[in-house]
Chains A and B, each alone.
Chain A
């Protein structure tokens, strides 16, 4: 892993520490109450705060996961660095796309 990727992975990790803690709290809160889809969406739709929170979370997770997958492929698979990097970029872009769609669905609707 080069220095640039190393810094990005550590920076996104540090950024996600509080985000993951809040997300775990949300998981506990939502699952214990057994919310219906309508109850969830009534709390999230139109909320700029949730849009910003999960928008940032998706971006950080996509970058962090893509770099992690690249490292695993480079070290554990027969793929060469260039191919592993290409796969990781595509994976990260897919995560960004699916994540943006999920945030749009839940927050903007």
Chain B
């Protein structure tokens, strides 16, 4: 691998693209499980209630905080892609990518602070 390739792969925007892709992949894996959990209510509220009480565990709350981070970072990363592709706005992309990550972390932190 050449030095230029290494530089390319360590760039902030390459990292932003990778975070966007991996967060999307993680959300795609989570989505069927999320739908299956909500579908428990089809057999009556008792099964959903039992699942919700299971999800009160601290470890599950932390995992939910992670999912909130993934959803927010994928949303903001996608918004950045749409802006680049559709508007004449190409300045400060590295800063925007950093801002997206920071905002996502803050949103996830606020989520955790509210549920604990």
Minimum CB distance partner of B114 in chain A: A32
Residues of B within 8 A of A20 (CB): 71, 75
What count of chain B residues pass the 8 Å CB interface test?
37
Residues of B within 8 A of A31 (CB): 64, 111, 114-115
**Total A-B residue pairs with C-beta atoms closer than 8 Å?**
93
Q: Report whether A41 and B45 are in contact in the complex, using a CB–CB cutoff of 8 Å.
A: yes
Secondary structure call for the B interface? helix
Q: Any chain B CB within 8 A of the CB of A1?
A: no
Give the one of B37, B40, B48 with max A CB within 10 A: B48
What's the minimum C-beta distance from B9 to chain A, rounded to whole angstroms? 15
Residues of B within 8 A of A99 (CB): 31, 35
Q: How far does the alpha carbon of A55 sit from the alpha carbon of B42 in the complex, in Å?
A: 16
Residues of B within 8 A of A41 (CB): 41, 45, 48
Q: Report whether B38 and A106 are in contact in the complex, using a CB–CB cutoff of 8 Å.
A: yes
Given known pairs A41-B41, A105-B40, the reply for A65 and B107 (CB within 8 Å) is no
Q: Please, what's the 1-or-0 string for A22-45, where 1 marks a CB less than 8 Å from any CB in chain B?
A: 011001100110111110110000
Minimum CB distance partner of B61 in chain A: A31
Interface residues of B (CB under 8 A from A): 21, 24-25, 27-28, 31-32, 34-42, 45-46, 48-49, 52, 56, 64, 68, 71-72, 75, 78-79, 81-82, 85, 107, 110-111, 114-115
Q: Any chain B CB within 8 A of the CB of A52?
A: no
Interface residues of A (CB under 8 A from B): 10, 13-14, 17, 20-21, 23-24, 27-28, 31-32, 34-38, 40-41, 58, 61, 65, 68-69, 72, 91, 94-95, 98-99, 101-102, 104-106, 109
Q: Report whether A17 and B32 are in contact in the complex, using a CB–CB cutoff of 8 Å.
A: no
Q: Report whether A21 and B75 are in contact in the complex, using a CB–CB cutoff of 8 Å.
A: yes
Q: How far does the alpha carbon of A56 sit from the alpha carbon of B23 in the complex, in Å?
A: 22
Q: Report whether A61 and B31 are in contact in the complex, using a CB–CB cutoff of 8 Å.
A: yes
Q: Report whether A24 and B41 are in contact in the complex, using a CB–CB cutoff of 8 Å.
A: no
Given known pairs A41-B41, A101-B42, the reply for A65 and B48 (CB within 8 Å) is no
